[in-house]
Amino acid sequence: MTAWYEKTAHEIRDALRQGETTAVEITQNFLDRIDAVDKQVGAYLQIWNESALEQAVQIDARLANGEDVGPLAGVPMSLKDLFCTLRGNTTCASRMLANFESPYNATAVQRLEDAGAIFLGKVNLDEFAMGSSTENSAFQKTRNPWNLNCVPGGSSGGSAASVAADCCTFSLSSDTGGSIRQPASLCGCVGLKPTYGRVSRKGQVAFASSLDQIGPMCKDVEDAALVLNVICGKDPLDATTADLPVPNFSKALTGDVKGLRIGLPKEYFTESLNPEMRALIEQAIDVLKGQGAEFMEVSLPHTDYAVAVYYIICTAEASANLARFDGVRYGFRHPDAKNIQELYVKSKSEGFGPEVQRRIMLGTYVLSSGYYDAYYLKAQKVRSLIKQDFDRAFEQCDVILTPTSPTQAFQFGAKTDPLEMYLSDIYTISTNLAALPGISLPCGLTKDKLPAGLQLIGKPFDEAAILRTAHCYEQNRGFDMGKAPIA
């Protein structure tokens, strides 16, 4: 019997259209895989066996009738549990929303459903997407399929782990400061963060509204282009989506990078970069040089301020966005509150976990009277400088290449200091601050047999360039990453 769970989305799409199998067979194959290995990995918070098979039956019926079933018809996928869905609950891995049922689908979710994708269920994350290890979930621990003693990264650890463990073909995820790219790096997946405004955020439970972006976590670059084609585009329900024509990203995968100018920011290749990670990145650079790409050093001089700026802006926006969870309209409501003040205090104290509370307090502080100008306003000014750094760099180059994560996957509990954990996203944060597209893809294994990730950053709305570069490297790197050693 074919192990369909090992296949990519485009392989499954082609097999279905050629009549080699059925959507029901493929979906059952994935559900059996989840049943076999997810007890060890802990990626899924909800598994939608019945509705997934119902979707598959409908796809098969439409295929039999010769209907246009969509570019992702019959492809099983997972959803990070912060997207509103008519199926199941939308929990954000928080006690605050443990029983919340959304009255609508997020725009990106609806577009995937319209394209024929089959929803296997929802996967784990750091609570409200706040974290870099998925250790902040209120419900369970998700483990890295490459080493069950290690974290999968975060906040989209469930997405990365479900893809790496072959428990879905791809996952819809979100990235506020690296939450797609960093776990993709740690779990050996391809993770794409589009330009801010390329994909509608309608129906994504907001963390930091000026930084959040939705994108796919996939098995290869071709799948990333395929999914991006489906989810992006103007949405009248999200005023921040760009009213720009959307290219066919799959056609960008030409394999040709001759004459492409790739910048290497000197601030990202300092002594703080792990030597083993540096060696793997340098090998990737050699591959692209061999394909005709031209490399040059560029400078992003305000990089040192990015982490501080990010944690001022994102906590400020989180403080505002999470104020709606007050125990009154929806969400966790403490049963023993005697008055409105107790209701607020007890509901929020028990509904939110420690990291979410930390960020709400930090954000409220930087927005408070007497501190707004000193922190939040100044951070926004430095954010503009970071964006200008990229603008100047892109006058010299077409794409910027960096590491994705400073380290390989680390063990549970290894980073108990919040600041140390925040530095896990040091190479990804600036891309969100500057509203640029970025992609992470595997570039080899460390001596501990754990994946390392390569990041490519593009000009605004030039996802095609980073996809083309990533695909060229993937096709010519000369080795197969293999599978995570999960039984």
Instruction: Look up residue 146 and give its amino acid.
Output: W
Catalytic residue at 369? no
Q: How many residues comprise the chain?
A: 487
Mean pLDDT of 105-111: 98
Question: Tell me: the pLDDT tens digits for 228-276?
Answer: 999 999 999 999 999 999 999 999 999 999 999 999 999 999 888 889 9
- Mark whether 209 is an active-site residue: no
Q: Are 52 and 88 in contact (CB under 8 A)?
A: no
Q: What is the pLDDT of residue 487?
A: 64
| pLDDT given for residue 222 in this prediction | 98
User: DSSP assignment of 391-443, as one string?
Assistant: HHHTTT-SEEEEES-SSS--BTTS--SHHHHHGGGTTTHHHHHTT--EEEEEE
Given pLDDT bands bounded at 50, 70 and 90, which one contains residue 424? confident
Which ranges of 128-173 does DSSP label H, i.e. alpha helix?
157-164
Cα 429 to Cα 424: distance, rounded to the nearest angstrom = 10
At residue 279 the predicted structure's pLDDT band, cuts being 50, 70 and 90, is very high
Per-residue tokens: 394: 């892109």
User: Is 155 annotated in the active site?
Assistant: yes
pLDDT at 418 over 90: no
Phi, psi of 119 (to 5 degrees): -90, 115
Model confidence over 426-470: pLDDT tens digits? 999 999 999 999 999 999 999 999 999 999 999 999 999 999 999
- Catalytic residue, chosen from 7, 78, 80, 162, is 80
With beta carbons less than 8 A apart as the criterion, state whether 264 and 281 touch: no
**Residue 365 DSSP symbol:** H
320-358 pLDDT per residue, tens:
999 999 888 888 999 998 999 999 999 999 999 999 999
Return the percentage of the chain with pLDDT > 90, whole number: 92
- Locate the domains of the chain by residue range: 4-254
Q: b/e string for 112-148 if b means 16 or more Cβ within 10 A?
A: bbebbbbbbbbbbbbbbbbbbbbbbbbbebbbbbbbe
Q: Of 78, 133, 155, 405, which one is the catalytic site residue?
A: 155
Indicate which residue of 78, 171, 179, 250 is catalytic. Answer: 179
Alpha carbon distance 195, 405 (integer Å): 20
Q: How many helices (H) and strands (E) does the chain have?
A: 15, 11
Q: In terms of CATH architecture, what is 4-254?
A: Alpha-Beta Complex (3.90)
What's the pLDDT at 272? 82
